Amino acid sequence: MSQVVFALLLSAFAGLSTTLGSAIAWLVPRPGPAFMALTLGFSAGVMIYISFVELLAAGLEEIGFLWGQLAFFVGFGVMLTMDLLIPHSYQSETDPGISLKDAKLLRTGLFVALGIAIHNFPEGLATFAAALSSRQLGIAIALTVAIHNIPEGIAVSAPVYAATGSRSKAFMWSFLSGLSEPLGAAMAGLVLLPFLSPALLGALLALVAGFMVFIALDELLPASRTFGREHLTILGVVLGMIVMAASLALLT
């Protein structure tokens, strides 16, 4: 299997893991706060660790300290701009207020789906770029993003299902929100592959590190802490870093 096809398949796996969250929402409409706090903290820890230890480090090695740092902060700035233009609030995700009498539930679910779809686009680029650099790194990023996307699938499907009573509609919107991730990877492949060089790949990895650190700090950690389990949040972060360090040690 070619490296490009492998990278695209990994991006599809990561993005479509939102559908697993949708399936969980059917069985457990409101997962316990301890589970959510620990899971989101774990995902944040993995993202932060791999961004600094692997992605940014690889970028600095290829394009030098100054350009690598610039690419990192550009990635951070791109995500910040996107977040300001299209806010992605976790309020509806952590407390959807499920009630069939609430007419706003469907609108809430659809807007959450739109916000997640747009925010997933650079995650597809992240998985794609990492997998082009190294299959092991690509797998690690894809698993991290997949863990992150499962509660997002719950966030989309729970209010839609509560508002419509239709599991198929809840699943459909969750599926569509995750589809933007492999779409982002495919577009990156079409646009970047003709110009791909070690320097460009290094810049992409540093850029993606900025994406991922922003997602961890702006979305995952605040969302985790809304469940009122601060110690589980930091425990999840540390566990995520330990697991990532152990996996990298085994792969090297």
Alpha helix (H) residue ranges in 51-134: 56-63, 65-85, 91-94, 104-133
User: How many angstroms separate the first and last alpha carbons of the chain?
Assistant: 22
Please check whether residue 215 is in contact with residue 119, taking contact to mean a CB–CB distance below 8 angstroms.
yes
Please check whether residue 91 is in contact with residue 248, taking contact to mean a CB–CB distance below 8 angstroms.
no
pLDDT digits (tens, 9 = 90+) for 48-62: 888 898 889 988 998
Residue 252 confidence (pLDDT) = 57
Residue 237 belongs to domain spanning? 3-26+34-251
Q: Which amino acid is at 133?
A: S
Question: DSSP assignment, residue 55?
Answer: I
CA atoms of 59 and 82, how far apart (whole Å): 23
Q: Which amino acid is at 53?
A: V
Residue 64 confidence (pLDDT) = 95
The structure's pTM equals 0.65
Residue 97 confidence (pLDDT) = 45
Burial 184-193 (b: 16+ CB within 10 A, else e): bbbebbeebe
Nearest of 46, 15, 43, 219 to residue 124 by alpha carbon? 15
- Number of structural domains found in the chain: 1
Residue 85 confidence (pLDDT) = 77
Residue 88 confidence (pLDDT) = 52
| Positive/negative CA dihedral, 80, 18, 46, 92 | positive
Residue 226 confidence (pLDDT) = 78
Q: Which amino acid is at 116?
A: I
pLDDT in tens, the chain (252 residues): 678 888 888 888 888 887 887 776 667 555 567 877 887 788 788 778 888 988 899 889 989 999 999 999 999 998 888 778 765 554 444 444 444 444 455 655 565 566 566 666 767 777 887 888 788 888 888 887 787 677 667 766 765 676 677 778 878 887 887 887 788 778 777 777 777 678 887 888 888 888 888 878 887 788 788 778 789 999 989 988 997 788 667 655
Contacts of 215 (CB under 8 A, 6+ apart): 47, 79, 119, 123, 148
CA atoms of 176 and 4, how far apart (whole Å): 23
